[in-house]
Structure 1
């Protein structure tokens, strides 16, 4: 039986006029089956939550490693280019690579934003929704176009 069938059977049995002992035994067996299924679902949720936490940590570690390797490559590229420039080569052929320093568009580096004249500063306006006020108005029965309250029921697994 699935959970819906078990719950339905429990309701049907409660409405029948059965011997109290038979009723208690039947309800107990149905409730035990239901509780086992619900317990399995709760365990599944806990397992998923632990895997989600592990994945979040793994993503963080991978992002940190990506950033570290990117910075390392930037430093290595700067060192490589400086060495070829110091040697006076326009290009250098090694066993595995052809190395050709090139000029790319210059980078804009801002050392201190506060010292920049206002002509270089651009004001951007960001519109954010006041969810606290919106929630309060919706809860008070005010209809707001484009928004609604939706029930948010969950079960605490302890």
Structure 2
């Protein structure tokens, strides 16, 4: 399965991104952005990630955001400017990717909750019998499910779903 990505960002690009977000990005995510400015799955257009906290035992993964202003669905700034306020009850939340259906992968830097979470924004798993979330929704924003302690572990989780390493193709 190929993953398409844009050329990496410079340190200045990343500093500008953090200034616009008014938040610090995790260092391992910054390293990723220097190498690949976001990426998305193609043919098929998603990957199944294991998550035993929902009935199906898995969730979809489609893309990691980058600084791509001309592609709003792939742009870190556009998504965060439009939606991240829904998680205003959590300190330093940054949406970094999506499942392709409106549910998001979020980095949370709040003490005691640090890590990467799957944010069930669309309430896809709300009626699941299992629905063993880690952070309860507030004001109808959707529950959050812990996935990994850091970006590197999350990226490794994505890669672990393949029998052979996926192809990364620069656009």
Which TM-score band applies after superposition, normalised by the shorter structure? Answer: under 0.3
| Structure index of larger Rg | 1
> Is the helix fraction higher in 1 or 2?
1
TM-score of the pair, normalised by structure 1: 0.16
> Is the strand fraction higher in 1 or 2?
2
